[in-house]
Each structure stands twice: as C-alpha cells, then as structure tokens.
Amino acid sequence: MQNREFEHLLEEAYGSAWRHYLDQESWEHLYYNDVLSVSQKPHATGVNVIIAELLIKRSSSEIQEYLYNMENWKEWHKQYKKSKVLEELHHSSKILYFCTRHISYLRGRELILASKKFAVKDHKFVIFTSVNYENAPGIFYKVRGWCYFFFFIIKQLNSVASTVTFLCQYDPRGVRINSFSEKITKKFVENLLELKKVLEKDHSPISLSF
C-alpha cells in the first residue's frame, strides 16, 4: 500500500486528528496491510486482524473471545480470567473481547467501526494489549503520543459502550530489560493515568488494569 493511500485511510477514520498523534518517522513503521477487509488474511508476522464483519454475525448475548494464534496469548488470557476485573465482567452476558498484540492506528479504526455496528448500550468492551517496544517500535516512538491516540479510540467506544476496560500486560520477554526500558514503561503508565483523569471529566469512567 502506498503512503498516500495509507494516509487516506487514516483521514477517513479519524479526520485530521490522526496527524496530531503520529509523526512521519513513527507512522512509517506501521503495517500497511492491517486494513479492515472481509478477506483479510494474517500478514507476514502471523497476526490475525479483527474483522468487523465477523463481529456483527455473532450473537450479542454470548461472551466472545478473539484470541490470536500467537505464543503466550492463552497463558495471558488465563491470567486475566483470574483477575478481579474479569471476574466481575464475566457476570455480564454481553462482553466483547478485543485481543490484539498491539493497538495500531488502523486496528483502532476497526475497533471503532465494529463498535458502531455491533454494540448495544450495555455492552462492555475489554481490550487486551501488551507493551512490547521491540515488536511495535513505531507505536511507542513517542509514548505520550501513543497514549493520546489510545484514549482517542476509547472516547469513540464510550459513545456506544457502557464501560471500556483496558488490560495492559507489559511483556518483558524478548525485550532487553535495562534502565531505559524501565524508565519508558514507568512513563507510559504515568501518561495513561494522567490522560484517564482528563477524559473522565467529560466521559464515562475508564477502567485501567496493569
């Protein structure tokens, strides 16, 4: 996909707002083929993309889990199921899980499109993601910028969902653990909490779990 076409998709999904969240050096790292499509297939990295068309065919009364065929996801899912956050959410019959290795800009577009087609007022959106800087260098090029973008997605989902929960798992495997990594991770969490307070002034509560 050419850069011009990629920019058009971002413009279509977010208007001119996307330019405030992503700079030239950062967005060139994104996967250009993570485009919403009924015929979407796993790209070279083996990541399956959530397809909105599949979501709307499912029964809204059942708990839905979209787990990618990636190492450690089942292990993480079991861990999250034991958490108090999910224990409470499982009492609801209408929960929509979005599981993704990392939230990219086009994947965020999928979340928004799917939510508008699929959601009902009492739906609960649970977004799983991992923080792995080596696997997503573009997304975390500017930590604060990524946080702003994430909450931009959350604001969209809040318009159609009763609650939105973000479960963040920092994945140290394959990442060099050093002072730089620890510093970035700490700053990432601080930015999330700061932005959470700002957005909750005008929107419904946002749940964060680390």
Per-residue pLDDT band for 206 (boundaries 50, 70, 90) equals: low
150 has a pLDDT exceeding 50: yes
Give the residue extent of every domain in the chain.
3-209
For the sheet with 95-99, list strands across it. Answer: 95-99, 124-131, 163-170, 206-209
**Rounded CA gap, 61 and 80, in Å?**
21
More confident site: 192 or 141: 192
Q: Please give the model's pTM, rounded to 2 decimal places.
A: 0.29
Residue type, 154: I
Q: E-assigned strands of the chain?
A: 95-99, 124-131, 163-170, 206-209
At 188 the pLDDT is 52
Residue type, 91: H
| Least confidently predicted of 23-27, 29-33, 111-115, 116-120 | 29-33
Give the mean pLDDT of 50-69: 30
**Rounded CA gap, 17 and 156, in Å?**
13
